[in-house]
Amino acid sequence: MEESSYEPAVIDRFEGEYAVILVGEMQRPYDILRHRLPPAAREGDWLRIERIDNQIITVQLDPEATAAARQRILSKLERLRRGEHLRDA
Amino acid sequence: MCQSSTCPHCGKPLRLSARFCGMCGKPLPRRAQSSLNALKHRSRVLGGKILPGLISLALICFALTIINPVRQNLLAAIGWDESNALPINTATATITTFEVRETNDSLSTPTVAVAPPSPTTHAVAESSDKSLLEVHVIDVGQGDSILIRTPEGKTALIDGGYDNGRALAYLQAEGVTRIDVMVASHPHADHIGGLVEVLTALSVGEVWTSGATHTTGTYERFLDAIIAAKVPYYEARRGDAIPLGSLNLNILHSDPNASELNNTSVVLRLAYGRISFLFTGDAEHAAEYEMLATVRDQLSATVLKVAHHGSYTSSSPEFLAAVQPAVAIYSAGRDNTYGHPHPGTIQALRRIGATVYGTDEHGTIVITTDGKNYHVQTEYDRPPIQAPPTDTWHDSISLIPGSNLSIADRDCSDFTTQAEAQAFFLANGGPGRDPHRLDGDNDGIACERLP
């Protein structure tokens, strides 16, 4: 039996009974039945998924990763809104 | 056929044409059903039997080659100048549908003349007539991506599908080197992923979003790509007009604070002469009701890009009644997991008289217009989408996730607002189904008396 591995993923959206999660560095889309996610899971939440080959075994919320991504993204967005990226050398 | 008679998930026996399993509710593989439906369609069209059908087809093709001069006279008679129609820059698309409508205005019922499909691939690189506007609904698989080319050569790109390279490859094949206006309708990966690739490879003039944000790596990459390419970034508000040469992309909706990202979608209308287009992103019922309340008189459009891949979450009868599209185009991946487009949406579109095309069936769809007439060109030569027979999707509708058909019968007093009743009504099959009898007068609007 293959060993399981852990990977970060993020919930991109819900489509009916499915959640579409984006997995790993490549943000590869993966459909997972909504009921397999923790009940509190929301669009935009980061997860830690455990998988063997292409099968997802467990899914856990990763609130720290979500908060970190949100903060990083908001600061980038502020730069864009202020047009700072146009002035940079 | 035997495979499709039981559910691959739970083994329950099924009707051949079911799209969702009646027991476990899971969507069924579409391939078997669509080939079955295609077969049904062909046999209906050509008189009930396959072999005589094929013979008829051969005879029709032969006859069409003979009557080509007649076709040109017919087109001339309705005012279509064929030099307007051809040649068109289509590196990948074959002209398979040639449809001309005389439109006095977009709301009148147009006289329709359908010319036979041209068998020719037009490999001419440049349009010789600069008065044509082109709108390309690009087949990017599951996702949305729409290219607009104005008569002056300005380009806009609304969404880019997933980061699967398809939108960029299409643009490059079309010889597009610059996108003047890029719009991200909302930050889901099936809309912005491909925009990252376009921002990296092509020159982009400006980027517009609703201002809604996401936490995904794909969204962060989108921001990184705008920063790296030093492209001006703007957030659209309802009432804004984004100039595209001498035309405008009018913003009818853009709500960064909507509770679901789909409803943050930037919705744009583009008018060129008498022909207009409405691009809806993934806007769902809540956004549709907001538009009906605020910009109802601006919603009418000749061509509708159907919201959210034809999902039941969108395209309410009231919204479609306000748009009154002659042509409706959805973008969805072949055999997608989500059942897009939903049969009720197709039925609602057919019910208001729209001719329906989808990228899953037709590949890339290009509408070309001189502002008076338009024609629709599809990559694959297939008839427009028809609503499936009602008896084939009763099961699927009752099992749409999130709908509550298993609960006891509901009536209008179970809802506090009409919008809430309407959403429930639509999620349970909408017009033609209505198991809870919320639409007694059968006008597609549930519980009119509610606030």
Contact B288, B311 (CB under 8 A): no
CA distance B314 to B444: 14
Q: What does the pLDDT read at residue B129?
A: 58
- Please indicate, yes or no, whether residues B100 and B216 belong to a single structural domain of this protein: yes
Residue B133 lies in a domain: yes
Q: Give the three-state DSSP class for B70.
A: helix
Total domains in chain A come to 1
Q: Which among B216, B221, B227 has the least Cβ separation from residue A80?
A: B227
Residue B130 lies in a domain: yes
Residue B69 lies in a domain: no
Total domains in chain B come to 2
B217 vs B74 pLDDT, higher one: B217
Residues of chain B in contact with residue A9, where contact means CB-CB under 8 angstroms, are: none
Chain B residue at shortest CA distance from A80: B233
Residue B40, min C-alpha distance to chain A (Å): 29
B260 touches chain A (CB under 8 A): yes
Residue B159 lies in a domain: yes
Contact B344, B435 (CB under 8 A): no
Mean pLDDT of chain B: 76
What's the pLDDT tens digit per position in B277-323? 999 999 999 999 999 999 999 999 999 999 999 999 999 999 999 99
The domain of B1 spans 1-27
Residues of chain A in contact with residue B216, where contact means CB-CB under 8 angstroms, are: 10, 12, 22, 27, 44, 69
* CATH number assigned to the domain comprising residue A65: 2.40.50.140
Q: What does the pLDDT read at residue B390?
A: 63
What string of DSSP letters covers B342-355? PHHHHHHHHHTT-E
Q: What does the pLDDT read at residue B388?
A: 79
Q: How far apart are the first and last CA of chain B?
A: 49
Q: What does the pLDDT read at residue B43?
A: 29
What's the pLDDT tens digit per position in B378-420? 999 999 999 877 655 544 443 333 333 333 456 777 777 777 7
| Distances B87 to B126, B137, B146, B247, B276 between C-alpha atoms, Å | 8, 19, 21, 23, 22
What string of DSSP letters covers B6-41? B-TTT--B--TT-SB-TTT-PBPPHHHHHHHHHHHH
Q: What does the pLDDT read at residue B447?
A: 83
Residues of chain A in contact with residue B218, where contact means CB-CB under 8 angstroms, are: 12, 22, 27
Closest CA to B132 of B377, B379, B378, B373: B373
B4 vs A46 pLDDT, higher one: A46
DSSP B117: P
B189 touches chain A (CB under 8 A): yes
B8 vs B322 pLDDT, higher one: B322
Provide ipTM, 2 decimals. 0.97
pLDDT value at B32 more than 70? no
Collect all residues with Cβ–Cβ distance below 8 Å to B180 and sequence separation of at least 6.
Answer: B154, B155, B156, B205, B206, B244, B245
A20 touches chain B (CB under 8 A): yes
Residue of A85, A86, A87, A88 to mutate when probing chain B, most B C-beta within 10 A: A85
pLDDT value at B68 more than 50? no
- Please indicate, yes or no, whether residues B272 and B353 belong to a single structural domain of this protein: yes
CA distance B398 to B396: 6
Size of interface A-B (CB pairs under 8 A): 92
pLDDT value at B65 more than 60? no
- Please indicate, yes or no, whether residues B115 and B213 belong to a single structural domain of this protein: yes
Residue B451 lies in a domain: no
State which residues of chain A have pLDDT below 50.
none
Tell if the CB–CB gap between B402 and A79 is shorter than 8 Å: no
B436 vs B354 pLDDT, higher one: B354
Could you tell me the two tokens for B328? 């409706």
Residues of chain B in contact with residue A69, where contact means CB-CB under 8 angstroms, are: 215-217, 220
Q: Which among A13, A31, A76 has the least Cβ separation from residue B261?
A: A13
Model pTM score = 0.70
CA distance A46 to A82: 28
* CATH number assigned to the domain comprising residue B263: 3.60.15.10
Task: Identify the helix (H) or strand (E) that includes residue A70.
Answer: helix A63-82
Chosen domain end from B357, B387, B417? B387
Chain A residue at shortest CA distance from B309: A15
CA distance B258 to B254: 9
Query: Can you tell me the mean pLDDT for B176-188?
Result: 98
The domain of A17 spans 4-87
DSSP B269: E
What's the pLDDT tens digit per position in B103-157? 333 333 332 333 333 332 333 334 445 699 999 999 999 999 999 999 999 999 9
- Please indicate, yes or no, whether residues B232 and B355 belong to a single structural domain of this protein: yes
- Please indicate, yes or no, whether residues B168 and B279 belong to a single structural domain of this protein: yes
- Please indicate, yes or no, whether residues B102 and B17 belong to a single structural domain of this protein: no
Query: Can you tell me the mean pLDDT for B166-181?
Result: 98
- Please indicate, yes or no, whether residues B133 and B12 belong to a single structural domain of this protein: no
Tell if the CB–CB gap between A73 and B215 is shorter than 8 Å: yes
Which range, of B87-101, B230-244, B285-299, B336-350, averages the lowest pLDDT?
B87-101
Tell if the CB–CB gap between A22 and B216 is shorter than 8 Å: yes
Query: Can you tell me the mean pLDDT for B160-177?
Result: 98
